[in-house]
Structure 1
């Protein structure tokens, strides 16, 4: 972990929620809340001005909602990681936000420790789903026939690693599940990125969903 705090902007249209989130994060030495916004348009403007590392953002907001803001940030501030914090445990919400460019989705009932872990994970280039969001989105894993499998682009082991990455697992968890070394997981991950020409974790998640590597039921 770098000694430089992760710069975070909080985005929610309820002042009490903003105050509560700020209070939960203010004692974290590795995180610095550098700004707040009450709608998506303000969030985009603040991102351009303050250049945060992570945007912790609600979905339902006036002027510009979380979907629109995420898409705009993906275009205008691609270096900013968007982490959605929402009360909506809804598959379509989660899926649409991932496809819009969000790097993670956590529910508002998560603990402070999990919120911090989510911020750190997306800042490091990973994806993060809280347990409730993960259960909603990835409710069934099958061995579907997919374009990726048919084409032979990825090996069977690479497909397995990609599925686990899409589920939100980190390298250590994948290594443990597959009984391989972390270095081997990292090699598979780099091979997957190279073969698919996708360099971000969020992009790999979108690919897995769009090619039916993850079944959503």
Structure 2
């Protein structure tokens, strides 16, 4: 298995080389410290797996992976990072990244991840999956606090409707909608309806990009 490392820290490269040197079926074949350098090396080396840092200077690892994929169709990609942010993990999943490993992982965990991913199975660090479960449980608890009508209003907000449009849709007064919106923001602990739309979208309630929702 040929492994390419895309990371701007030489110590990370040296550490991975050290971890893989005793593995008969693995070889660290190259190191790139930027997305551009990775593009040049990937075409030439055609690695089996590429470990890509999530945050390089001025670059985002997931965007780098999107650019690299066409250059090596058979290569599988693993995010290697110190970050376990929910949005980063979500974007990695949406991009169908093959793996997500934290830099604090033990050497044997990295070796296991590489073998699983090379064999066609995804690998996400257990701490990452725990974070996702905690986030999902928290979202479910918050949503369960909303009344049925408040849930309808939240869905309408996420669909981009103004208070007047929501009032017309639900056959209530605009003042009643405003009260529902206020209750929703209070229960979810959010400051405005745009953040509420983004939250709802993360729970699968949006039909489009919630960032396009305008304040009304």
Please say whether Structure 1 and Structure 2 have the same fold, judged by a TM-score greater than 0.5. Answer: yes
CA drift of 1:211 comes to 10
* Alignment partners' CA distance in 2, 1:137 and 1:123: 24
Pick closer, same or farther for the CA change 1:137–1:41 going to 2, 3 Å.
farther
Equivalent residue in structure 1 for 2:124, among 116, 124, 129:
129
Larger Cα Rg: Structure 1 or Structure 2?
2
Q: Which runs of 4+ in 1 moved over 3 A?
A: 138-141
* Alignment partners' CA distance in 2, 1:30 and 1:63: 34
Match of 2:172 in 1: none
Q: TM-score, normalised by structure 2?
A: 0.60
CA drift of 1:58 comes to 0.6
Contact 1:41 1:64 in 2 (8 A): no
Pick closer, same or farther for the CA change 1:101–1:138 going to 2, 3 Å.
same
Q: Which structure features the higher share of helix residues?
A: 2
Where does structure 1 lack aligned partners over 5 or more consecutive residues? 1-5, 145-209, 213-217
Q: Deviations over 1:11-67 (max 9, x none)?
A: 110111211121112111121111111112212221111000000111111354312
Equivalent residue in structure 2 for 1:34, among 29, 48, 60:
29
Q: TM-score, normalised by structure 1?
A: 0.59
Q: Deviations over 1:131-157 (max 9, x none)?
A: 11111123347xx9xxxxxxxxxxxxx
Give the match's secondary structure for 1:138. Answer: helix
Equivalent residue in structure 2 for 1:107, among 102, 105, 125:
102
Contact 2:42 2:71 in 1 (8 A): no
